[in-house]
């Protein structure tokens, strides 16, 4: 759904950059939990907690959709759905990745459930990073993480390409979703 929306919106020229920035923001928002850890000196301390729940993502996406729609005169439902999809895709992908720190997985049902969920089939590698705030960002740049990102791109780019090809083959027109 997210890939389809991005491709549909790609027919609109200069307003797209801002829309893509909002999508990127909401796709990365679950990892805002690193910020809480920086205050304690351990950026990983709160990773995969409440910001990796569907409730957090839905509330944030709805709020963001309303703000964006009002500001840019867009459809609230469309904007909210895209921002929610961006955040949920992050959480789902994290549930499909190796997690080396307890509790394993993500609390997708928080606040209604304290259970952490991780897929029994892990498609993606973990991202190695330091627990020391001063070394956190430099520690992200290593061969292991480059390999992990390469695998994610290898798996996910065909999905985007397929949506793009389907859109192209159906003769999609911008007017079909104006103000969507």
Give per-residue pLDDT as tens, 67-77: 999 999 889 99
Closest by alpha carbon to 114, among 52, 66, 67?
52
pTM: 0.83
For 22-81, the DSSP string reads HHHHHHHGGGGHHHHHHTTT-TTTTTTSGGGSHHHHHHHHHHHHHHHHHHHT--HHHHHH
pLDDT at 54: 98
pLDDT tens per residue, range 56-93: 999 999 999 999 999 998 899 999 999 999 999 999 99
Closest by alpha carbon to 128, among 147, 112, 149, 144?
144
pLDDT at 119: 96
- The boundaries of the domain holding residue 77 are 2-9+16-177
Query: Can you tell me the mean pLDDT for 94-106?
Result: 95
Tokens of 29: 């928002």
CA–CA gap between residue 180 and residue 65 (Å, rounded): 13
DSSP lists the bridge partners of residue 97 as 124
Q: How many Å from the N-terminal Cα to the C-terminal Cα in the chain?
A: 14
pLDDT at 171: 57
Tokens of 98: 């190796």
CA–CA gap between residue 172 and residue 144 (Å, rounded): 40
Residue 2: pLDDT band by 50, 70, 90 thresholds? low
pLDDT at 16: 74
pLDDT tens per residue, range 12-49: 555 678 888 899 999 999 999 999 999 999 999 999 99
pLDDT tens per residue, range 118-165: 999 999 999 999 999 999 999 999 999 999 999 999 988 898 788 777
Q: How many domains does the structure of the chain reveal?
A: 1
DSSP lists the bridge partners of residue 124 as 97
Closest by alpha carbon to 33, among 48, 13, 16, 14?
48
CA–CA gap between residue 164 and residue 149 (Å, rounded): 22
Q: What is the mean pLDDT of the chain?
A: 87
């Amino acid at each position: 759904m997210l890939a389809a929306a991005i491709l549909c919106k790609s027919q609109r020229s200069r307003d797209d950059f801002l829309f893509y920035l909002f999508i990127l923001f909401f796709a990365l928002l679950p990892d805002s939990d690193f910020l809480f850890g920086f205050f304690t000196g351990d950026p990983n301390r709160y990773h995969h907690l409440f910001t990796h729940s569907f409730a957090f993502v839905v509330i944030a996406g709805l709020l963001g959709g309303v703000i964006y729609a009002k500001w840019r005169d867009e459809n609230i439902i469309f904007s909210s759905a895209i921002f929610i999809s961006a955040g949920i895709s992050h959480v789902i992908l994290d549930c499909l990745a190796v997690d080396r720190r307890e509790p394993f997985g993500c609390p997708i049902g928080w606040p209604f459930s304290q259970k952490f969920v991780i897929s029994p089939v892990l498609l993606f590698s973990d991202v190695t990073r330091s627990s020391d705030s001063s070394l956190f960002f430099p520690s992200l740049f290593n061969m292991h993480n480059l390999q992990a990102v390469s695998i994610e791109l290898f798996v996910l780019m065909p999905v985007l390409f397929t949506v793009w090809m389907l859109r192209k083959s159906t003769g999609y027109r911008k007017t079909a979703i104006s103000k969507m």
